[in-house]
């Protein structure tokens, strides 16, 4: 029994520190073990997230004026809908771009699969932007009903950043597919941030 008790004794404090040290080392090995393409994507994604946080902060605090509407739920939703009308502009431009390219090329018949690389990328960008616009629409409307009124202008700040990030996503994708992460993460994590804030306030 004495031996069994000794085996069941709690670990020494330094074991926890050693475990943290090992875990940190494993994390560093993973980072250093990334392929060149993975590093480009990871750095791009991190850049997009940091830029998004800084951009929305600057827009909300120094550029977008405070809302002057009456503080009612209907007015808040109307305010958010107006911002969404602006946020949907990149998608509209992308749809026109894809439609015009199809009209002026052999890809006018989609069943031929005659799209060139640029047209294929533009189609992918438009498809992803539609997805992001849908999430932004739902998240921004929900956010407008729970955010403190003095910070309501963050809705327009988010919409402006959404347009900027979508443009960066499109341009980056056209230059090289590995350069799409800044714009991608800049909108995806913007949407995630709004969703998390709404869920937090409702919990």
Q: Please list the pLDDT of the chain residue by residue as tens digits (203 residues).
A: 444 444 444 444 434 445 444 555 665 666 677 899 999 999 999 999 999 999 999 999 999 999 999 999 999 999 999 999 999 999 999 999 999 999 999 888 988 888 899 999 999 999 999 999 999 999 999 999 999 999 999 999 999 999 999 999 999 999 999 999 999 999 999 999 999 999 999 99
Burial per residue of 95-109, b for 16 or more beta-carbon CB atoms within 10 angstroms, e otherwise: eebbeebbeeeebee
Overall CATH class of domain 36-202 = mainly alpha
pTM reported for the whole predicted model: 0.84
Within 8 A by CB and 6+ apart from 107, the residues are 101, 114, 115, 116, 119
Distance CA 105, CA 25 (A): 54
In 49-128 the beta strands, taken as DSSP E runs, fall at none
Residues 6+ apart with CB under 8 A from 75: 69
């Amino acid at each position: 029994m004495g031996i069994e008790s000794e085996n069941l004794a709690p670990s020494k404090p330094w074991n926890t520190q050693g475990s943290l040290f090992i875990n940190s080392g494993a994390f560093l090995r993973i980072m250093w073990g990334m392929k060149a393409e993975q590093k480009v994507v990871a750095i791009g994604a991190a850049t997009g997230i940091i830029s998004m946080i800084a951009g929305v902060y600057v827009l909300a605090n120094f550029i977008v004026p405070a809302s002057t509407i009456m503080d009612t739920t209907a007015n808040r939703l109307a305010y958010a809908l107006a911002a969404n009308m602006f946020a949907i502009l990149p998608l509209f431009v992308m749809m026109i771009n894809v439609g015009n390219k199809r009209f002026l090329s052999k890809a006018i018949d989609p069943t031929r699969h005659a799209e060139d690389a640029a047209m294929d990328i533009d189609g992918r960008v438009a498809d992803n932007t539609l997805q992001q616009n849908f999430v932004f629409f739902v998240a921004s409307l929900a956010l407008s009903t729970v955010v403190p009124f003095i910070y309501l202008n963050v809705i327009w700040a988010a919409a402006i950043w959404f347009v900027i990030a979508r443009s960066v996503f499109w341009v980056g994708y056209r230059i090289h597919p590995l350069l799409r992460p800044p714009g991608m993460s800049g909108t995806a994590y913007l949407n995630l941030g709004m969703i998390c804030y709404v869920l937090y306030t409702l919990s």
